[in-house]
Amino acid sequence: MQTFSIGLAGMGNVGAGVFKHLRGNRSLLRERLGYELEVRKIAVRNLSKDRGCEVPAELLTTDWRQLLDDPSIQILVELMGQKQESLELILGAIERRKIVVTGNKALLAEHGREIFEAAMRHNVPVFFEAAVGGGIPIIKTLREAFVANHIQSIHGIVNGTSNFILTQMTEQGLGFADALRQAQDAGYAEADPALDVNGGDAAHKAIILASLAYGFWVPPEKVFVEGIEHLTASDICFAKKLGYRIKLLAVIKADQGQVEVRVHPTLVPASHVLASVNGVFNAMAVRGDVVGDALLYGRGAGQDATTSAVISDLAEAADALSSPRRNLGFTPHSLYGACKPIGECTSEYYLRLAVDDRPGVIAEVASILGRLQIGISSILQPEAAEGEIATLVLMIHRASHAQISTALSQLGALGCVRKTPRMIRVEHFS
The answer to whether the CB of 6 falls within 8 A of the CB of 78 is no
Tell me how far apart the alpha carbons of residues 142 and 151 are, in angstroms, rounded to a whole number: 9
- Which one-letter amino acid corresponds to residue 359? P
Q: Does 14 bind ligand NDP (CB under 6 A)?
A: yes
Note if 98 is an active site residue: no
CB of 134 to ligand NDP, least distance (A): 5
Strands 75-78 and 3-9: parallel
Cβ(138)–Cβ(309) below 8 Å: no
Q: Which residue among 39, 80, 236, 394 contacts ligand NDP (CB under 6 A)?
A: 80
Q: Decide: is 161 part of the binding site for ligand HSE (CB under 6 A).
A: yes
Check: CB of residue 224 under 8 Å from CB of residue 248. Answer: no
CB of 131 to ligand NDP, least distance (A): 6
Show contacts with ligand NDP in window 39-58 (CB under 6 A): 43-46, 49
Residue 190 engages ligand HSE in binding (rule: CB under 6 A): yes
When asked if residue 306 is in the footprint of ligand NDP (CB under 6 A), the reply is yes
Minimal CB distance residue for ligand NDP: 12
Do residues 180 and 319 make contact, with C-beta atoms less than 8 angstroms apart? no
Quick one: which segment of 84-92, 93-101, 157-165, 254-262 binds ligand HSE (CB under 6 A)?
Answer: 157-165
The candidate with the shortest Cα–Cα distance to 215, out of 340, 336, 339, is: 336
* Angle, CA of 257, 258 and 259, to the nearest 5°: 120
Alpha carbon distance 291, 397 (integer Å): 30
Q: Which of 41, 205, 247, 340 is catalytic?
A: 205
Residues in the interface with ligand NDP (CB under 6 A) total 29
The CA–CA distances, whole Å, from 426 to 120, 262, 292, 395, 414 equal 40, 13, 22, 9, 24
**218-78-211 Cα angle (round to 5):** 15
The residue within the footprint of ligand HSE, chosen from 74, 86, 104, 159 (CB under 6 A), is: 159
Q: Which of 382, 396, 400, 406 is nearest to 426 (CA)?
A: 396
By CB under 6 A, residue 301 contacts ligand HSE: yes
Residues 82 to 111 in contact with ligand NDP, rule: CB under 6 A: 82, 85, 103-105
Rounded to 5 degrees, φ, ψ at 201 are: -65, -40
- Say how far apart CA 69 and CA 211 lie, in whole Å: 32
134 near ligand HSE (CB under 6 A) = yes
Task: Rule CB under 6 A: say whether 160 interacts with ligand HSE.
Answer: yes
| Closer by beta carbon to ligand HSE, 98 or else 299 | 299
**Which of ligand HSE, ligand NDP, none lies near 82, with the C-beta cut-off 5 to 8 A by kind?**
ligand NDP
The whole-angstrom distance between residue 148's C-alpha and the CA centroid of its chain comes to: 24
Does position 421 interact with ligand HSE (CB under 6 A)? The reply is no
- Which residues between 201 and 220 bind ligand NDP (CB under 6 A)? none
End-to-end alpha-carbon separation of the chain, Å? 52
Question: For ligand HSE, which stretch binds (CB under 6 A), given 92-100, 183-191, 283-291, 326-334?
Answer: 183-191
Helix residue ranges, H only, 77-219: 84-95, 105-122, 138-140, 160-171, 176-185, 194-197, 200-214
Q: Is residue 288 a contact residue for ligand HSE (CB under 6 A)?
A: no
* Residue window 104-143: x/- pattern of binding to ligand NDP, with contact defined by CB under 6 A: xx------------------------x---x---------
Phi (first) and psi of residue 185, to 5 degrees: -60, -30
Output 134 or 288, the one with its CB closest to ligand NDP: 134
Nearer to ligand HSE, 93 or 189 (CB): 189
CB of 104: closest distance to ligand NDP in angstroms? Answer: 4
Identity (one letter) of the amino acid at 286? V
Residues annotated catalytic, as ranges: 205
Contact positions vs ligand NDP (CB under 6 A)? 10-15, 43-46, 49, 64, 79-82, 85, 103-105, 130, 134, 187-188, 190-191, 301-302, 306
Interface residues toward ligand HSE, by CB under 6 A = 134, 159-161, 188-190, 196, 201, 300-301
